[in-house]
Structure 1
Amino acid sequence: MADDPISLFDSWFKEARKSELNDAEAMALATATPDGRPSVRMVLLKGHGPDGFTFYTNADSRKGNELAANAHSALLFHWKSLRRQVRIEGPVSEVQPEEADAYFATRGRDSQLGAHASIQSRPLDRRETFEARFEDMARQFAGRDVPRPDRWTGFRVEPRRIEFWSDRPHRLHERRLFTRIEGEWIEGLLYP
């Protein structure tokens, strides 16, 4: 049964990109406060490999603050069209500034301006305030490249546990669990 879970994820992800109607990259990101209060939201996978699964956000957002205080998280991909899920758990680290710069440069200009305009996760009195901030950023950066904001960065979840769940008739699902122990992946099965 010893397969490489990253290769298996690659295979499933390629299938999901062909079959999912919207955002095969969408994943639920679970974080927790220092006292263990959970929080979950959807983010987009922007890179993955043996070193981990990467997403980008504002480090001053709720998720950024929770990751700074408790650098562990869980991810969940649910590909309904394939009747599959992948669960990933592990420690989180911030990507290097050069990596964040490189990804930020690939974003559309309006997304770049939005990253400057948004004070992510902070209270907003009305939508027009945000739209005015966006227009201010558009004027400020008119005619030049939009640099990455200092607090906008990427985070990488280093997988320590990866579970592959496949739907089966009569709720007799298949669950394959890979656990990383001393640098090696150990595979086993779980009861559904």
Structure 2
Amino acid sequence: MSENNDDFTAATEPFRLFADWLQDATQSELNDPNALALATVDESGMPNVRMVLLKGFDETGFVFYTNYESQKGREILSSHKAAMCFHWKSLRRQIRIRGIVEKVSDEEADAYYRSRPRGSRIGAWASKQSRPLESRFALEKAVAEYTARFAIGEIPRPDYWSGFRIRPTYIEFWHDRPFRLHDRLIFQRATPESPWTIQKFYP
């Protein structure tokens, strides 16, 4: 692994440490080391959580893509807040992130959309995500219709399909230790533009 306990304790900013841990996960996790639990909240205050895939990150934040008309899309567009949690069982590590959410640029969304398999691009058109489905046949029929519609040439990105970037104000690194005396290293800031404060928490 690229990270030992001394490096964990000495970390002065979170993004390099996140990159190191994600790199370790790509070598140890059997499936989807970039999978994360994404938490949002609806208008009544009830939380929702589901698994999505991280598709990019840098010092500006953490990016994933979705249908803006889906449940998570609508909830994020209403609150502009979200939380995510990575858990890598093979490494006994977890990272929790909270922050403000913004849309990615059209250029960024277009570039990622073009990189997706053709079938996934068709699926973005065919699926009315998070809405009632009368039958599996209805979905398969929509896929067939859009496959015929876009039989030749590029498949444009739907206006309602794009990405979000979580700009973190809180990042917690958790590392399992014997007897439940875990390491917890917390990075916090008031806004995405503020400097980080660093603190260790009790397990």
Q: What interval of TM-score do these two structures reach, taking the shorter chain for normalisation?
A: over 0.9
Is residue 186 from structure 1 mapped to residue 201 from structure 2 by the alignment? no
Contact 2:33 2:88 (C-alpha < 8 Å) held by counterparts: yes
Return the alpha-carbon distance in structure 2 between the equivalents of residues 180 and 6 of structure 1. Answer: 14
Alpha-carbon deviation of 1:2? 5.0
Alpha-carbon deviation of 1:127? 0.8
Any residues of structure 2 matched to 1:93-108 within 5 Å, and which? 93-108=102-117
Structure 2: unaligned runs, 5 residues or longer: 1-9
Is residue 43 from structure 1 mapped to residue 52 from structure 2 by the alignment? yes
The AA in structure 1 aligned to 2:16 is S
Contact 2:86 2:95 (C-alpha < 8 Å) held by counterparts: yes
Contact 2:84 2:98 (C-alpha < 8 Å) held by counterparts: yes
Structure 1: unaligned runs, 5 residues or longer: none
Any residues of structure 2 matched to 1:3-82 within 5 Å, and which? 3-82=12-91
The AA in structure 2 aligned to 1:135 is A
Is residue 113 from structure 1 mapped to residue 117 from structure 2 by the alignment? no
The AA in structure 2 aligned to 1:99 is E
Contact 1:2 1:186 (C-alpha < 8 Å) held by counterparts: no
Task: Identify which of 131, 143, 147 aligns with 1:138.
Answer: 147
1:59-108 residue CA offsets vs partner (Å, 9 max, x unmatched): 00000000111111000000000000000000101111111111000000
Provide the TM-score with structure 2 as the length reference: 0.93
Alpha-carbon deviation of 1:123? 0.3
Return the alpha-carbon distance in structure 2 between the equivalents of residues 130 and 8 of structure 1. Answer: 42
2:37 is paired with a residue whose SS is strand
1:121 is paired with a residue whose SS is coil
Return the alpha-carbon distance in structure 2 between the equivalents of residues 126 and 11 of structure 1. Answer: 44
Task: Identify which of 166, 169, 176 aligns with 1:167.
Answer: 176
Return the alpha-carbon distance in structure 2 between the equivalents of residues 30 and 41 of structure 1. Answer: 7
Contact 2:98 2:168 (C-alpha < 8 Å) held by counterparts: yes
Return the alpha-carbon distance in structure 2 between the equivalents of residues 34 and 143 of structure 1. Answer: 42
The AA in structure 1 aligned to 2:86 is F
The AA in structure 2 aligned to 1:183 is S
Runs of 4+ off more than 4 Å: none
Could you tell me which residue of structure 1 aligns to residue 4 of structure 2? none
Return the alpha-carbon distance in structure 2 between the equivalents of residues 34 and 95 of structure 1. Answer: 23
Higher relative contact order (Cα pairs below 8 Å, separated by 6+ residues): 1
| Pairwise CA RMSD | 0.9
Alpha-carbon deviation of 1:33? 1.3
Alpha-carbon deviation of 1:34? 2.7
Contact 1:95 1:154 (C-alpha < 8 Å) held by counterparts: yes
Kindly tell me the number of residue pairs found equivalent between the two proteins: 192
